[in-house]
Amino acid sequence: MSRVLQIHDLKTAYFVGKKNQRILHHIKNAYVEKGEFVSVLGLNGSGKTTLIRSILGMQKVVSGQITFDDVDFKDINVNELSKIVSVVLTDKIDDAFLKVSELVSLGRFPHGSAMGSLNDNDIRKIKEAIEIMKLRSFENRVFSQLSDGEKQRVLIARAIAQDTPLIILDEPAAFIDSPGKLGIMRMLRKLTYNKSKSVLLTTHDIESALRFSDKIWLLSPDGKFISGEPNEMVRSGLINEYFDKDGIVFNRESLSFEIVSGANNCQ
């Protein structure tokens, strides 16, 4: 199996000013294989977004090596990288007075020129992405008028249209209702099955991450990093260790969080 993303001895950090840094994580070895679905889990403030931004070069790292498709990140320019990784970020897109189809078509930019029009292949990829994210009936709506869930689907469709082997998503399901969350996770999972795309995402939704992922990257606030299969993490009690809190306990049988008896009354 070829590794789309390989992380080696990476140290991520918060930077305050030029000198002050607080090391968040030291990741000795982690990777995403072709067709793999990897979820990054961790409590608030554990550095999930920092990890994503560090991988994408949007943030300085202390040290370490990141390779995409076996090429060192330092040897890849932004244009080459845009053909390997597409992203869905939490950045607000406020003023885009763009139709859904126009926004999705931006994903074809890395494959065309700054001036040119879309070719047949571009149009096919755009249609396909719109189809996958079930946006057919939205095509001519204006992006800024959509609901949060709809916007998120459009942004994912844009990433799909970019047609890269790896898609990295930062909290793709935040601010979306439960059926919407599951729907998004399922669509991404299908993408890894049907198109052999690799998906790396951060999420707060531990239950669906365990259900859909091939692999979990667990980040703890004290700097530990653990990579493993969901089953194994549940069985070994790691999930309980990391996320159980104040009588809210992860049930290893039902794979969901429960309020333990005795703590049931809210007094």
Partner 1 sequence: MQMAKRTSAYIIVLTAGVLMLFLLNLSYGSVLISWDRVLDALLGRIADSPDAIIINSYRLPQAVTATFVGMALGLSGLLLQTLFNNPLAGPSVLGISSGASFGVALVVLSGSLSGIDFMLSGFALGNILVVVAALLGALAVLLLIIFVSSKIANIVVVLIIGIMIGYAINAMVGVLQFFSRSLELQAYVLWGLGSFSKTSLPQSIGLAISVSVLVVLGFLFQNSLNVFLMGKNYARSMGINTKVLQLKILVIAGLLVSLATAFTGPIAFLGLAIPHIARNLFNSSNHRILLPAVVALGAFIALLCNFISKLPGYDTSLPINAVTSMIGAPIVIWAIVKRAKIKQ
Residues of this chain that bind partner 1 (CB under 8 A) = 56, 58, 77-83, 85-87, 89, 91-99, 102-103, 106-107, 109-110, 112-116, 140, 142, 144-145, 162
State the Cα–Cα distance between residues 225 and 41, nearest whole angstrom.
10
Amino acid at 159: A
* Residue 199 CB, nearest approach to partner 1 (Å): 15
Minimum distance from residue 98 beta carbon to partner 1 (Å): 5
Burial class (CB in 10 A: 0-12, 13-18, 19+), 78: exposed
The SS3 assignment for 241 reads: helix
Neighbours of 66 (CB within 10 A): 21
Report in angstroms how near the CB of residue 87 gets to partner 1 at its nearest: 4
Helix/strand/coil percentages in the chain, nearest 5: 35, 30, 35
Residue 3 β-bridge partners:
33
Tokens of 206: 């531990």
**Minimum distance from residue 156 beta carbon to partner 1 (Å):** 13
Q: Closest CB to partner 1 among 197 and 210?
A: 197
Place of tokens 């000795």: 28
Nearer to partner 1, 86 or 208 (CB): 86
Q: Which is nearer to partner 1, 89 or 206 (CB)?
A: 89
Taking the least distance from each CB to partner 1, the nearer of 154 and 234 is 154
Question: Least distance in Å: CB of 96 to partner 1?
Answer: 5
Q: Between 98 and 255, whose beta carbon lies closer to partner 1?
A: 98
